[in-house]
Amino acid sequence: MEEIEKTEEPVIKNLDPNAKWYVLHTYSNYEVVAKDNLEKVIKKEKLENRIFEIFIPLEDTVVEKRDKKVLIPTKTMPSYLFVKMIYGDDIWHTITRTNGITGFVGPKGRPLPLTTKEVEDLKLERKVNNVTTRLAAGDTVHVVDGLLAGQTAVVTAVDQTTGKCTITVTMFGQPKAVEIEVFKVKKI
């Protein structure tokens, strides 16, 4: 099974109103390779002011490994990358010629930006919300989103910079520390 590096949930980094989310199609199981290659191309071609974020949608899944159940990140949309950028015909060839990328998703392979509703539904943009200031180690929380939805847990640490907290949940009769985004928990 391919090891996937956990990709952070995207957070709004730029305030440029012209930047939009686009979908890129990749070869099967080449999402990570395509992302790495595109990041190299961005640096080489100095496109940091045009391409802001690259996102592989992942979700934690429980898998049995060596008689133990573990959480591993799995791709929720295999063969796709989401890219936030200011599109122009001048970078179309640069992106589509990147190793691992087969093209843009859209009519006749031409880019079609996602609508605001699609961006919201896919949770592509998340601002670290005010819950980070209200959570503290020792708080009891209810998980409201994701694989652990419905679980009650105890917060063991809060990271203000990433908007994540570490919680302890009981899984399969054993306490397990899990890092989760603060917007996925609600203080009880």
pLDDT tens for residues 121-177? 887 775 444 343 478 889 999 988 877 888 899 999 887 767 788 999 988 888 899
- Which residue has tokens 């496109």? 47
Quick one: 140 and 115 in the same domain?
Answer: no
Quick one: 116 and 47 in the same domain?
Answer: yes
The residue type of 121 is: D
Confidence of residue 68 (pLDDT cuts 50, 70, 90): confident
- 100-133: pLDDT as tens digits: 999 999 998 789 999 988 888 887 775 444 343 4
Domain count of the fold of the chain:
2
Which segments of the chain are extended strands (E)? 20-26, 51-55, 58-65, 68-75, 80-85, 101-104, 140-143, 152-159, 164-171, 174-181, 185-187
Domain hosting residue 174, numbered range: 131-187
Which pTM value belongs to this model? 0.61
How many of the other CB atoms lie within 10 Å of CB of 100?
A: 18
